[in-house]
Amino acid sequence: MTDTRQIDGVTDAAAARAAAARLAARHGVPALERARLTATLGARLRQCLAEGGTWRLTLGVRGADSGGGALHAVLEPSPDASSAGEGTRWETTVPLPAADRPGGTGDSDSDSDSDMVPGDDPAALSQALMSADADTALVLDRLAEQEALVAFHRDELHQTNQGVLALHAELDAAGRAQREAFAAERRARNEAENARRRLTFLADASAVLNTSLNHGEIVRRLPELLVPRYAAEVGIWLFDEEDDPHHPMTRPAATVRAARTGRPQYAADHPGGLRGVDDLPPSVLHPDRPLLCVPLLTHRAPLGVLTLSPPGERWDPDDAVMLIELTRRAGIAIDNARRFEHNRDIAETLQRALLTELPTTPGLSLAARYLPATHGMNIGGDWYDAFHRPDGSLITVIGDVTGHGLHAAVMMSQLRTALRAYAVDDGSPGLLLTRLHKFLHRLQPNLYATAVIARFHPDESTLTWAAAGHPPPVLRLPDGRVRTLDAKPGAMLGIPLEQEIADHTERVAPGSTLTLYTDGLVERRAEGIDPGIERLSAALGSFGPAELDTDLEGAADRILKPLLSDSERDDDVCLLLCHLQG
């Protein structure tokens, strides 16, 4: 089925367009495709009319009998016209549905006749126009539906975009909050680490200052602890050292103000902002650096002022608080050391006053040594004594009162005095110790002592001795052999026990040396007392007779040297040498 039309004017063009629409409708082309076909064909026809000349439109259906075909349209210049070949050929193909719509006769001629639209029939053209309007209305309805769908999706997209924007805002806020939390955590961790560092330094420095009982050592160590970590320079002004030529007499005004007010002062060209510290103008003596002046306070009165300059431009406020606390502890440590030194000097004076000046005896040389412990007050209960009795004999004694300090020294003095009083009457060493035992038990039930008493008589060649809980005497014979006089001793003096302390007698010849000592000379915590007695015996045996005869004092020093090689002693040391001239 083919329809060919000549187009010379607008009426022919309208009739051709209407024929294409009717043919497409006849073969079931959907309205949207039909409207697209007629619109496209109309546009080409308007272009042809604008170009002029005669044109030919050929409409046909191919393959309709096989159940699926296509509507074919060709618009080209008419070959009979004088303008043939001047225009542009145009053609299009529209697929048909699988089967034609019912209602036709199936006669190709009839179909051809029914699709004809006469060019001069206004009614037919009007009907074709109305049909085109119906297709256009359907297209507009579909377009309205699509616009509504587009609007719906546009609203959904807008809402989605708003949600995405809100989500991005929340994520951004969460990210900022997380970054702030991380930063706060880092700051807290740094602050905690700095606080731990300050506390550790304060504890270590306090331990260093408090372990020394020498105030000069504390003053020397304090700058070593602070420079260069917390201070560039450190100055210490002790009020009682004003006359020391090594200390400057001109001091910053902030130092003087700290001494007068007892409050820390900060002198700089900018406020320090330090808690509990007064701000002052910069020092005239040191205008180029800040100064922190902290008084060295004690429970009684200020001792001096500590003046520091910062390691950088200024101090961290927390570091300044730590420095003020360390200065307070340093003041207490210096005060404690000075009080200890004062008490120690008194104790040593008392100790030296209680020690006996050794008597001179023909044919008998005496040498004594007393060394206080290196820890504590340097005063204890160790003592030695030597004195003549009315019968001409010589009593030598060495003893040790338990404990240290003034109380032990006082008790040692009382025992020494009581022994001298008891020795006025005739009595052997064992009897004297027995009386001392009863005296101490009644005087001080909770205090104990050990002692050794030895008696030499110029008319006898014997030595009488007795011991009460004390390390045994050591006797060096003239031939250099050494014996430990380890006969059974009595118990300690003062224990709640009735006892009679026995005497022991040894024959001695000229050239013999008796050594009395306290346990501080021979006892060590790690090894006990026996190895120390062996070392003492070896030291005594190393001398020749002439050395002991000529230089007993030097011999005493040479005995102490190997036995006291340790620089630290926890106990007092007493040594008494009794040498019979050879």
Burial of 13 (0-12, 13-18, 19+ CB in 10 A): buried
pLDDT at 570: 67
Instruction: Please report, for the chain, the start and end positions of each structural domain, with discontinuous segments joined by +.
Output: 2-120, 212-349, 355-580
> Can you tell me the distance from the alpha carbon of 264 to that of 306, in angstroms, rounded to the nearest whole number?
9
Res 138: pLDDT: 79
In 482-544, where do the E strands start and end?
Answer: 482-484, 504-507, 513-517
Q: DSSP letter at 502?
A: P
Burial 30-66 (b: 16+ CB within 10 A, else e): ebebbbbbbeebbebbeebbeeebbbbbebbbeebee
What pLDDT is stored for residue 565 in this prediction?
A: 66
pLDDT at 582: 73
In this prediction, residue 104 carries a pLDDT of 40
In 3-state terms, what secondary structure has residue 1? coil
Do the domains at 212-349 and 355-580 have one common CATH topology? no
pLDDT of residue 242: 60
**Separation between Cα atoms, residue 453 and residue 448, nearest integer Å:** 17
Q: Answer yes or no: are the C-beta atoms of 431 and 475 closer than 8 Å.
A: no
Whole-structure pTM value: 0.53
Distance CA 289, CA 268 (A): 7
In CATH, 212-349 is 3.90.1150.10: no
Q: In 55-115, which ranges are E strands?
A: 55-62, 70-77, 90-95
Sign of the C-alpha dihedral, residues 347, 328, 201, 309?
A: negative
Series of mean pLDDT values for 10-residue runs along the chain (582 residues): 85 87 87 87 88 89 74 87 63 79 39 48 69 76 86 90 91 92 91 91 91 89 91 90 60 91 91 88 88 89 90 87 92 90 76 77 90 65 89 92 76 88 89 94 86 90 93 93 92 92 93 93 84 92 86 91 69 90 80
Round to whole Å and give the CA distance between 87 and 75: 10
Task: Supply the pLDDT for residue 567.
Answer: 52
- Compute the chain's Rg from CA coordinates: 63
Thinking of the domain 355-580, which architecture would CATH place it in? 4-Layer Sandwich (3.60)
The DSSP element (H or E) to which 403 belongs, if any, is strand 394-404
CA separation for the pair 504, 489 (Å, rounded): 9
